[in-house]
Structure 1
Amino acid sequence: MSTPVLAAGNHFIRPSLFAEAVRTAAGDAPLDIRELQFPWPHTPFGPVGEVIEASGSEDEMIEALQGVEICVTEHGPLTERILAHCPDLKLFCTSRGGPVNANLHAATRHGVAVCNAPGRNATATAEHTLTLLLAAARGVGDTHTDLRRGTWRGDYYDYDNCGIEIDGATVGLIGFGAIGSRVAKVLTAMGAHVLVHDPYVRPEALAGIAEQVTLDDLLRRSRIVSLHARVTDETKGMIGRAQIAAMPRGSVLVNCARGALLDYDAACDALESGQLAGAGFDVFPEEPLPAGSRLLTVPGVVLTPHIAGGSQEVAHKAARIVAEEVGRYLRGEPLTHCANPEVLDRRTATAD
């Protein structure tokens, strides 16, 4: 008998890509794969029911999940209402770094295992961070804009307008996970002295790469600061007016992590005053960026529309990670990235 699977993709990780990855991971196991297309990123994701980052609607998911045992998706929602109407669902795999589009507590109550895909975009995000870091350090944003407007600004060669080199610079990374550690290795290879503030990092992980310091020490010593922390109650708004003021005048600030980590009004004030010589931002407090945002006119900033984690390789990697969980599930093996393993423990106890 075939196992019913829903491949709920979008324009980044297409349903067919999910389906192909699942078939490969499942081997000879018979599958009945249905495909569903969501509109992201052409239509921004947002709240659906009680989950905060999802695409599509509860009604679409309820209809598509009828009789389905396994769902693989990127932004498809999993809410209390969906779970209540889809009793056959047993495994929900979201190809996100965290299961932000799933109501984990409700899934646990309904006996649905939820898996995610940590590290799926670590390489892409690290590379994009370096792109913005280098561009902000050398004033690429403003010089590019001026040249496109037909203005050759030779005064950017003035000493006070020149950018800074990475070789010999002190660069501070706030967070040393899968992304921050990759950024650190490249910066070290380029000749930077890398400081890290991360209360959870193991000292041995920093050996030969970076120096662990307090946040105050990092801000005081770093000419370039890049954010790589997760958003928690402790980290929300962790870089504000006081923290930016503690950095050396003419510093560079980069954020490819989450908009909630940074006070952007304070960053704009610092760019206008010269406290920050440059900044590179891929994430924002409100997305899409509002038309009247100060970030669109403030000098020295390089902006990208939350695309740091977007590469063709990420799409394939993310699909493969969740598909491998499907393969493990079908073979009765332990799941590697299950966010609510108590569901699996409960199933095992019931089987015994």
Structure 2
Amino acid sequence: MRFDSNVIARAKQMKLIMQFGVGLEGVDIDAATKKGIKVARIPGDATGNAASWAEMAICLMLGLLRKQNEMLISVKQKTLEEPTGDTHLGFPSIDDLIDKKGIHGDIYEFASDADTVVCCLSWHSERVLHIFNEKGDLLVNVARGGPLDYEAVVHHLESGQLGGLGMDVAWTEPFDPDDPILKFNNVILTPHVSGITEHSCISMAKVIGDVALQLHAGNHFTGKELVN
């Protein structure tokens, strides 16, 4: 359900809109603010949500490196010891990732030096386009589909400039299972489950319950992140 301005305008007693997670693209924050309604989300580091997203990023990276889809094809064809995977997964020192001021430099320059890029940008971020210099680099997206230019991604997959794409999010959701991009063997799509683990769901549900009790009692909210 989307809380757009039309829905919010009809709210008579609403005091708080709280996202079960961190993404607030479905909430018109400006309309809620004008109505005097607080908007909040659950900090990912407090519930294990952030850790589960990181795990999914690594899962997709490994799936691309070890050619997960091609392995399934080999199983169906009863072929052993194929395909040959890759193992260039590595972690540079922090000094290689940040400048002397403590922040990373130009994103395009940074990405052009990487073998695998993990996109963690918000939906409204500038679109990521031609960031790969070396042929065969990998791209993993566990944030939102918006920052990736669909046509550019397809072009780079067709040319081989992009060696693989792992996505837990897509341009539209639910994503069309017959979309041409899924016909590439080096594309892995999961159904937006990065933050969906038993631990994170139980933890987030507890935060929601605690906030509901605080709201009912008229107490100060804790355990959430207000955005307005």
Please state which band the TM-score falls in when normalised by the shorter chain: 0.7 to 0.9
Q: Choose from 14, 23, 28 the match for 1:103.
A: 28
Corresponding residue for 2:62?
A: 134
Bigger radius of gyration, 1 or 2? 1
State the 1:269 CA deviation: 3.0
Aligned-partner SS, 2:225: coil
Question: For 2:8 and 2:138, how far apart are their aligned partners in 1?
Answer: 46
CA 1:146–1:265 in 2, change beyond 3 Å: closer, same or farther?
A: farther
Corresponding residue for 1:163?
A: 86
Question: For 1:231 and 1:84, how far apart are their aligned partners in 2?
Answer: 25
Question: For 1:267 and 1:222, how far apart are their aligned partners in 2?
Answer: 17
1:141–1:300 Cα contact (<8 Å) kept:
yes
Question: For 1:145 and 1:305, how far apart are their aligned partners in 2?
Answer: 21
State the 1:279 CA deviation: 2.2
Matches within 5 A, 1:221-260: 221-232=113-124, 235-238=125-128, 240=129, 242-244=130-132, 246=133, 248-260=134-146
Amino acid at match of 1:230: S
Question: For 2:204 and 2:37, how far apart are their aligned partners in 1?
Answer: 20
State the 1:155 CA deviation: 5.2
Amino acid at match of 1:237: R
Corresponding residue for 1:283?
A: 169
State the 1:291 CA deviation: 4.1
TM-score (ref. length: structure 2)? 0.81
CA 1:264–1:151 in 2, change beyond 3 Å: closer, same or farther?
A: farther
2:136–2:162 Cα contact (<8 Å) kept:
yes
Question: For 1:83 and 1:243, how far apart are their aligned partners in 2?
Answer: 40
CA 1:153–1:271 in 2, change beyond 3 Å: closer, same or farther?
A: farther
Corresponding residue for 1:150?
A: 77
Question: For 2:4 and 2:164, how far apart are their aligned partners in 1?
Answer: 41
TM-score (ref. length: structure 1)? 0.55
State the 1:334 CA deviation: 5.0
State the 1:106 CA deviation: 2.5
**1:308-340 deviations in whole A, cap 9, x for unaligned?**
121122211222223333344425325552222
1:95–1:321 Cα contact (<8 Å) kept:
no
CA 1:255–1:83 in 2, change beyond 3 Å: closer, same or farther?
A: closer
Corresponding residue for 1:217?
A: 109
1:321 has 2:211 as partner: no
Corresponding residue for 2:157?
A: 271
Question: For 1:163 and 1:146, how far apart are their aligned partners in 2?
Answer: 17
Q: Choose from 219, 222, 228 the match for 1:332.
A: 219
State the 1:220 CA deviation: 2.4
Q: Choose from 102, 109, 112 the match for 2:37.
A: 112
CA 1:80–1:142 in 2, change beyond 3 Å: closer, same or farther?
A: same
Q: CA RMSD in A?
A: 2.8
Where does structure 1 lack aligned partners over 5 or more consecutive residues? 1-53, 55-76, 170-187, 207-211, 341-352
Corresponding residue for 2:194?
A: 308
2:21–2:41 Cα contact (<8 Å) kept:
yes
Question: For 1:91 and 1:287, how far apart are their aligned partners in 2?
Answer: 26
Report the count of equivalent residues.
221
2:88–2:115 Cα contact (<8 Å) kept:
no
Corresponding residue for 2:3?
A: 78
Amino acid at match of 1:227: C
Residue identity (%): 23
CA 1:151–1:266 in 2, change beyond 3 Å: closer, same or farther?
A: farther
Amino acid at match of 2:56: H
2:74–2:83 Cα contact (<8 Å) kept:
no
